Amino acid sequence: MTATLPDGRPVPLMTGAERPMLESWLAFHRATLEMKCAGLDDTQVRRAAAEPSSLTLLGLVQHLAEVERNWFQRVFGLDVPPVHDAENGYALDPGRGIEEALAVWREEIARGQEHCAGLAPDSLGRIPDGPMAGVEVSLRWVLIHMVEEYARHNGHADILRESIDGLTGA
């Protein structure tokens, strides 16, 4: 049984094997992002907080769906197109709301988990494009990178949420 914090997020493992520990930290950060979006409407999640940045909570969710697809599917051999059309997912489509974006994000998480379920931490993938195209990376590296990616963006999400309704916290 996974322990949870009072807000419902899973407590990351404090001891144990490497992969479950890394995955538990990733689960914690994914839950933190979802918590930062909870209870907000489509207008609120489109609000940027710190000019000149146009970063929004909706854009972050879309971006992280893109990141999930890239690192857990494309790097490990699936030939799938980007989730969203432009700007690594940050571009806002007037017809896409937070519920749709969260559903897509959850689907990308599930697909990536399924695709990588049988891989060992030392399993290698290859970065498919961009400035580091062709570089090999291990699943271990990807898991560590994803914890870092979410932790950084959750800091952004915290600032965005506070600017929307004053809610602060982990």
Q: What residue ranges define each of the domains in the chain, with the CATH number in brackets?
A: 40-165 (1.20.120.450)
Digitized pLDDT (tens) for each residue of the chain, 170 residues in all: 679 999 999 999 999 999 999 999 999 999 999 999 999 999 999 999 888 899 999 999 999 999 999 999 999 999 999 898 766 678 888 889 999 999 999 999 999 999 999 999 999 999 998 899 999 999 999 999 999 999 999 999 999 999 999 888 76
- Residue corresponding to tokens 């017809």: 95
Q: Where are the beta strands (DSSP E) in the chain?
A: 124-126, 136-138
Q: How far apart are CA 19 and CA 92, in angstroms?
A: 34
